[in-house]
Amino acid sequence: MSKKVKKRLITVLLSFLILIIATLLITMNLRDNIIYFYSPSDLKDAEIDRQNIIRVGGLVKESSYNYDEKSKIYNFVITDNMNEISVTYVGIMPNLFAENKGVVVEGLATSKSSVTALEVLAKHDENYMPPEVIEALKKDGKWQEE
């Protein structure tokens, strides 16, 4: 390698290193803006502004889901296995909404543990399996819900 090439290589690598550090600093400081939703635990520690729309995400707690046909109100609880948030919602539920599955709701916090949702989104996981395989796994007792 000639001296010139070596010098250029070092310059490029150094500037790239500076770029990485700068990006790390920026993204770490902007974490609150980058995350798409808060977990129930995040919300417990956060200052709540009741005027602002927030998003909360986690798993739909088992046997917490309830639909009132008369008032058309959905009720369910979001959990991250440490803290819980109860959600009230009127509107269209996504097809993949289910207990023990991921969900993200957008709405207004009424208190540190309750949210009135304006929109509900299903957050699916990264597992892909044919239905027969799941049946077989369940039969053998090898399938675990998250």
Site for other proteins, rule CB under 8 A: 5, 8-9, 11-12, 16, 19-20, 23, 27, 31, 34-39, 57, 92-98, 101, 104, 119-134
**Cβ neighbours for 39, distance < 8 A, ≥ 6 positions apart:** 56, 57, 58, 80, 83
User: Shortest Cβ distance from residue 66 to other proteins (Å)?
Assistant: 19
The DSSP call for residue 102 is: E
The DSSP call for residue 108 is: E
User: Shortest Cβ distance from residue 54 to other proteins (Å)?
Assistant: 12
**Would you say 39 or 79 has its CB closer to other proteins?**
39
Helix (H, G, I), strand (E, B) or coil at 66: strand
**Would you say 70 or 74 has its CB closer to other proteins?**
74
Helix (H, G, I), strand (E, B) or coil at 61: coil
**Would you say 70 or 137 has its CB closer to other proteins?**
137
Helix (H, G, I), strand (E, B) or coil at 112: coil
**Would you say 12 or 70 has its CB closer to other proteins?**
12
